[in-house]
Structure 1
């Protein structure tokens, strides 16, 4: 899908995967995670949100979502969470 180096540590980027927009995050720990790219509340760009090891915060209305379960910590509908990993070639793979 993309090279890990395309995503700076502590940030996210949006990518098209099989016709769906996915937000992929590279955590400072080296872990990667992926969720649907649009916030279910108002379609905010989650890849542009603040991210830590556990949650992403939508930049539009500050709704927070758990990156492992997709559950909202602020009362919104849950996100779709996608399994992802970094291969031996340094490329991030995402499963829908």
Structure 2
């Protein structure tokens, strides 16, 4: 779940010209990879850029718009593309950033203070 917006700094990360519907894009924020996905219906979501299993880059995975599934190319862990919740395995969730559009500019809400140290989740292997 995204952070309370009062604890966020909004950072421009890309434009709609760089991220077409159905595409993924990795951007770097504060030295951390962030995965942007442009889903069907125009929704843009942002998650940690590495798989919590063994930190494979999620941008190298596959986004299936029909099933709204993101599959990591490393070991085929799967996540729901809108929520970041684990499908296989269950119980493992990607860290989600808040997203805002300003015209055609995509901004993410980056956590500040102590929350900035919690930029991605790791999960136990099941």
Question: Quick check: TM above 0.5?
Answer: yes
Q: Distance in 2 between matches of 1:11 and 1:49?
A: 11
1:63-83, Cα deviation, whole Å (9 max, x unpaired)? 111234322111163210111
Q: Note the aligned Cα RMSD (angstroms).
A: 1.8
Q: Which has the higher contact order (CA 8 A, sep 6+)?
A: 2
> Where does residue 71 of structure 1 map in the other structure?
85
Query: Number of aligned pairs?
Result: 95
Rg larger in structure: 2
Residue from 20, 24, 33 that aligns with 1:12 = 24
Structure 1, gaps ≥5 residues long:
none
Which sections of structure 2, spanning at least 5 residues, go unmatched?
1-12, 111-126
Contact 1:11 1:47 in 2 (8 A): no
| Length-normalised TM-score, structure 2 | 0.66
Residue 91 of structure 1 deviates from its aligned partner by 0.7
